[in-house]
Every structure is written in structure tokens, then in C-alpha cells.
Amino acid sequence: MKYLCHLENALKFVTTNLSFLESLASLHMRMFVAISFPYRWPCASKRRRQPLEKDWL
């Protein structure tokens, strides 16, 4: 029973902090993409200046 109570407390802790962790993760991903994008595709950004909508369709 002690394990079950511990599990319930852990679940409460996770659910209360889930929104904070989600916002932190999305912010981290946005920063990572913004930093890595110019270094990852320098040729594509220099070659064409128009939007890349054709590549996604």
C-alpha cells in the first residue's frame, strides 16, 4: 500500500508539472531549431531566396 501511495503522489507531481515541462521542452526545441537551421542548410538559404513552400508540397 505504501508503494501505491508513493505512485499516486508521483502521478500528482507529474501532472502538475507537465505543462511547465511541455513549455520548457517546446522552448528548447525552438531555440535548437533556430540555432541549428542556418548551420544545417547554408547552401539552400544562399541558393534560393523565395519561400520554401514548393519543397513541402
CA distance 17 to 11: 10
Q: What is the pLDDT of residues 38-56, one digit of tens each?
A: 665 555 555 555 555 555 5
Three-state secondary structure of 1-57 = CHHHHHHHHHHHHHHHHHHHHHHHHHHHHHHHHHHHHHHHCHHHHHHCCCCCHHHHC
Residue 5 has what pLDDT? 80
Residue 40 has what pLDDT? 58
Residue 1 has what pLDDT? 66
Model pTM score: 0.33
String of b and e for 4-13 (b: at least 16 CB within 10 Å)? Answer: eeeeeeeeee
Q: What is the pLDDT of residues 7-35, one digit of tens each?
A: 888 888 877 777 887 888 888 888 777 77
Residue 55 has what pLDDT? 53
